[in-house]
Amino acid sequence: MKTKTIGTLLIAGLVVLSAMVVFAGTAAAQGFPPENPEDDPNKIYGYITDGNGNPISGHTVEIKKDHDGKWHVIGGTLTTDANGYYDTGYVKMLLVGYGWPSDNYQMYLDGNLVATTTVENSDWVWDDPRWHFKFSYGWDHQIPEFASIAIPAIAVLGLFLFFNKRKQRKD
């Protein structure tokens, strides 16, 4: 193959690759985050249930978001309803200084940290395109049953007592 033909093919490939980068970048910029920070409300919602799937009602839920090493409560302190449901309502995170929605989050139940997760931009669901951007993220949490906590704890205590007894016999 001639050198001129190879050079032409390389230039054509470079042009096609450049066009792909421009169009892919433009398409990605139109989806998320929105151009207008005021049009960026975000909601986190979910259900709190016990190990059998029964709703846990009347308990407080706090969702905290990490932004530059500072944890911000999103939507205030919430209380689960009769179905175990909580909802932060729509929060304009960027506008109030909490940063973009993609970040690390913590869930507190009755003041105790029960779960940590990282939410990416792709995890948010765009649920109202008619008036402005609204992104939602569902986060359910299941409280383990007593037996799933008690049995391992008793097993560890039993092993401790077994080895302690065995050590006393040797002495």
Write 72-77 long-range contacts (CB < 8 A, 24+): 72/97, 72/98, 74/42, 74/44, 74/98, 74/105, 75/43, 75/44
In angstroms, the Cα distances linking 42 to 93, 121, 122, 135, 149 are: 7, 11, 13, 5, 34
Strands (E), 80-143: 85-87, 91-92, 103-109, 112-119, 125-126, 135-138, 141-142
Average pLDDT, the chain: 74
> Over 60: is that where the pLDDT of 138 sits?
yes
Domain range annotation of the chain: 37-149
Report the alpha-carbon distance of residue 85 to residue 169 in Å, rounded: 55
- What pLDDT score does 163 carry? 72
- The least confident of 63-72, 98-107, 162-171 is 162-171
Q: Report yes or no: 93 and 63 within 8 Å, Cβ to Cβ.
A: no
CATH number of 37-149: 2.60.40.1120
- What pLDDT score does 34 carry? 46
